[in-house]
Amino acid sequence: MKYDELIKHVRERTGTERAEAERITHAVVQALADRLTGDEARHMLSQLPEPLKSSITVTEHAEALTATKFVERIATELGCPPEEARARVHAVLATLEEALTPGELHDVLVQLPSGYMRLVA
């Protein structure tokens, strides 16, 4: 999936303008990369388009974030209520579900606690 297409999907799912959709996407993908091990984050990013993948910082160790803490982090970063942050996280994760190969999506999901499945579904 090309960058413009990815952002278009997030924009449509969130009802936001392009700049905000980009900000949402970068925040969620960065938080997700922080939640994954370094190798898995790099594998995920390898399937995402520029300039998204090069704007994400990868650390070697996964940050222990529950799904609730993940949403709280996004709410704080985006300056929105948790309910809105949850919807924005869902929009980005649904778009990543389309952008990643099924095998890579599976590899990402197995590293996340079960609470994250509510954010994807």
pLDDT tens, residue by residue, 33-54: 999 999 999 999 999 999 999 9
Tokens for 34?
Answer: 């922080």
Residue 23 has pLDDT above 80, yes or no: yes
Q: Give the range of the structural domain holding residue 60, as residue numbers without chain letter.
A: 3-120
pLDDT at position 115: 85
Share of the chain above pLDDT 90, in %: 83
pTM here is 0.95
Distance of CA 110 to the CA centre of its chain: 15
Number of domains in the chain: 1
CA Rg, the chain, in Å?
13
CATH number at residue 33: 1.10.490.110
**How confident is the model over 76-91, as pLDDT tens digits?**
999 999 999 999 999 9
At residue 7's C-alpha, the angle toward residues 89 and 45, to 5°, is 75
Task: Band the pLDDT of 101: cuts 50, 70, 90.
Answer: very high
